[in-house]
Structure 1
Amino acid sequence: MTSFPCAATTNVPIIRQYIQNYTAHTNQLLYNGKVFVSTFAGQDCTFGTSSVNQGWTNTVKNGLNTYFVPSFFVDPATFKNYSVLDGAFGWNSGWPMGDYNITFDQDQSYISNLGNRSYMAAASPWFFTHYGPNTYNKNFIYRGDDWLLAQRWEELVTNRSVVNFVEVNTWNDYGESHYVGPIEGVQPMSQAWVNGFEHTGWLDLIAYYITAFKTGSYPPITRDRTFLWARLFPAAANATNDAVGKPRTGSGCTQDYLWAVVQLTAPANVTLACGPSTVVASVSAGTTKLKLPLVTNCTVSSAIVRGTNITAFVPPGMNFKTTPVTYNFNAFVAASP
């Protein structure tokens, strides 16, 4: 709703028609027979009425069979003022907002204030945006350290009894680097930090956690997998040619590590290496999180070793460099076959 106009009654049919266009689509989410509708923002939309609540009621409720779970950026204590809400989406719950690990605190605030209405949590792997004052003027990162994606999902699985829905932020928001889908189509001037940084390696890991969230049990590991991600440049490095400049906030909240999630069908020794930095761990069957310090120019490699059986994984292009030309705090993601 930062793009759709919503101040006048003439804006109502645009949103209603948009919903109706997809009501019968096979990919439309239905909940209890109702069309699931969510937003990004919209907390200031009145649609020509005297209140936000009435404006949204006229737009998404009257005559439409919808289940409305928007992301309104308001104090959760005010949810009681919005009878139009069937629930609320905590968009920013997917990332820590400071130099600390992700917690369930924001989720709990939403849940406590929603009563018997639904809560939709966010799960997101990353956040970096690098626009100068001449464009969107957004230049910051959120802390993605300590296996944010895995840690967040494990938190949601633990609290699945009070979380009705989870949305993965996002499929294709290249500008903020939290895309998990393929890099396709027109980018919002984000090529400098997106091109060459595929994120689809996260998808199978997300699918693993989705199964656990839906069923309450983590699925069995049927093949060995290694999921790796990292920034490819030191957080403290100074770029040699970047007109936008270092991220204004967040660069001091991230550490130079390779983050690894290893899934094993049976115990094995796992090796992570990049130049002189090496970690060798004896890992049990199941899912294990490991990390490796990144300290100098190097190429990332990993291996799963059982006796004389060695399965190596060296992701093409995963090269850590200490002298960046431009500031790029995006994650390079790789998953073994």
Structure 2
Amino acid sequence: MHLLFAIAAALAVCVLPAQAAKEVFAHFLVGNANAFTFAEWQHDMQLAKAASIDGFSLNIAAQDSHNGASLATAFQAADSTGFKLFFSFDYAAQGAWPKDQVIALVNQYASHATYFKPDGTGKPLVTTFEGAGSAADWPSIKAATHCFFMPEWTSIGPRAAAAAANNVADGLASWNAWPVGATNMTTAPDTAFRAALNDNKPYMMPASPWFYTNLPAYGKNWLWRGDQLWDTRWQQIIAQQPDYVQVLTWNDLGESHYIGPVPPGPATSRLFAAAGAPLNYALHNPHDGWRALLPYYIQQYKTGGGGGRNSNAKMIAQDKLVMYYRVNPARACSAAGTTGNNPAFGQAAVPPDQMAADRVFYAALLDAPADVSVAIGGKVYKGVLSPPASGGASGVYTGSVPFAGRLGAVAVAVSRGGKTLVEVEGPGITTACQNGVENWNAVALSAP
């Protein structure tokens, strides 16, 4: 967590046409899928397509011996589904990539029909996870592969990233998807990236629903605020209209920002055991609910936002409801050293309960106002649905209610005129914690 000046300059001048299609990708950790079969790759791609995601950004680590087999299977599955893929070379997980290996992989797969190439360029898109220290490798990599290079060098800042290696980047991707402290996410980081690119090179804007990690073997144990982040961020994307969007992530269980399915027990358990985690905080915490509203959000993004009752209503085929919450109230059990914010990034550490509220959050896609009620432990409480950001009567309504000391099963119901439109039920809020350790991850469910 991330010479050949004449050739570099010639390659850098190619930017996306003004009318290039917008695309949404999900960051996919290939290392977390090294045992995936063709059917499992195909299944995840079909789920992503159903959520209106255009492709996966394949995160590959330099020393992963499974890369060859995994990538071959992934591209076979992509062929069968019409799904797009491109490489994100991870320079942080297992060290820097040797440039000859980067060149070989890009040239091996770039001609593949499902390898993503930005409109009007004919060039294979390549990005990174960090690796700014290897920026000088990229002029020669670009010369050898003719790739369209959009690195993620967030750690050195937008201006330094844009200027690195004689402006080698054709655009930039950002990893700045979570707010610091108890504040809500803003678009200030995105504005800084676009300014560094002079608004004439493409920008890949990040979106993420959550962040919590407790992996001692990797020195990771912190959380960032996720309350209301998913809807807030998509409304910002709709307003900002970036060239691309990257969802962080599809399957990073260790950082709790996955929106794909959690693999069966043994596969997930091995991941957390290998990292020395004091609890398996993903196993019974599905995040599938966060995909439910993506078709609407993505259509809004791709059509420029629309706005107003009529334009939004045409995009709403049926009412949908998402709810998410943590099953352990704050301070119910040991925090096991988890901090709010990450001091290693120069952020002031705060108690995690100051950043993650004990509340049941919900978001409903509706074509008109409605009522909402939340039941915790069988007791029903009336909630509030705040109107859509578009200002119209149709769109995504949001809200939350506090735990207020209540325990037990959770259910959220949306109704109109006394008739239930849609309802979601979820696991109980409990003070019984796995291994006596607080789980700061969330469960996210949806209906229908």
Is the alpha carbon distance of 1:217 and 1:107 closer, same or farther for their aligned partners in structure 2, counting shifts above 3 Å?
closer
Distance 1:4 1:129, change over 3 A: closer
**What's the counterpart of residue 328 of structure 1?**
439
8 A Cα contact 2:138 2:168, kept in partner: yes
Q: How does 1:67-78 map to 2 (within 5 A)?
A: 67-72=148-153, 73-78=155-160
Partner of 1:193, secondary structure, is coil
Matched, 1:131 2:234: no
Query: Taking structure 1 as reference, are residues 111 and 274 closer, same or farther at Cα in structure 2, changes over 3 Å only?
Result: same
Match of 2:299 in 1: 211
Residues 109-148 of structure 1 deviation map (CA, whole Å, 9 limit, x = unaligned): 111111222211100000000122xx11211100011x10
**How far apart are residue 95 of structure 1 and its match?**
0.7
Q: Distance in 2 between matches of 1:30 and 1:213?
A: 20
1:261 is matched with 363
The answer to whether the aligner puts 1:248 opposite 2:339 as a matched pair is yes
Between Structure 1 and Structure 2, the one with more helix by share is 2
**Conservation of the 8 A alpha-carbon contact between 2:422 and 2:447:** no
Match for residue 193 of structure 2? Answer: 110
**TM-score scaled by length of structure 2:** 0.66
Aligned length, in residue pairs: 315
* CA distance in 1: counterparts of 2:383 and 2:340, whole angstroms: 34
Q: Is the Cα–Cα contact under 8 Å of residues 367 and 394 in structure 2 kept in the other structure?
A: yes
Q: Structure 2 unaligned runs (5+)? A: 1-90, 307-311, 342-351, 388-392
State the distance in 1 between where 2:93 and 2:365 align: 41
**Where do 1:178-217 residues align within 5 Å?**
178-184=257-263, 186-187=267-268, 188-189=271-272, 192-217=280-305
Matched, 1:39 2:39: no
Change (3 A) 1:196 1:323: closer
Which residue of the partner structure matches residue 143 of structure 2? Answer: 62
| Aligned-pair CA distance for 1:15 | 1.1
Work out the CA distance in 2 between the residues paired with 1:75 and 1:310: 49
Taking the aligned partners of 1:267 and 1:104, their CA distance within structure 2 comes to 28
The Cα RMSD (Å) is 2.2
User: Is 1:278 equivalent to 2:373 in the alignment?
Assistant: no
Correspondence for 2:320 among 222, 225, 228: 225
1:120 aligns with 2:204: yes
Note if contact 1:197-1:331 (Cα within 8 Å) is conserved in structure 2: yes
What is residue 302 of structure 1 aligned with on the other side?
412
Contact 1:86 1:118 in 2 (8 A): yes
Task: Report what 1:287 is aligned to.
Answer: 396
Aligned to 1:48: none
Question: How far is 1:23 from its partner?
Answer: 1.5
Answer yes or no: is the 8 Å Cα contact 2:128–2:152 preserved in 1: yes
Q: Distance in 2 between matches of 1:201 and 1:25?
A: 33
Deviations 1:14-42 (A, max 9, x none): 11122223223343221032111111011
Aligned AA (1:294): F
For the structure 1 residues 81 and 164, does the alpha-carbon distance in structure 2 shift closer, same or farther, using more than 3 Å as the test?
same
Superposed CA offset, 1:141-179 (max 9, x none): 00011x10110110111111xx21110001111100111
**Greater mean alpha carbon deviation, residues 181-190 or residues 327-336:** 181-190
SS of match in other structure, 1:152: helix
User: For each residue in 1:61-111, what CA deviation from the matched residue of structure 2 results, as whole angstroms up to 9, or x when unmatched?
Assistant: 01312111111121222222332101111112x110222100011111111
Q: 1:4–1:87: structure 2 CA closer, same or farther, 3 Å change rule?
A: farther
Q: What's the TM-score, normalizing by structure 1?
A: 0.86
Deviations 1:270-298 (A, max 9, x none): 21222446124477543200111113212
How far apart, CA to CA, are the structure 1 residues paired with 2:256 and 2:197?
30
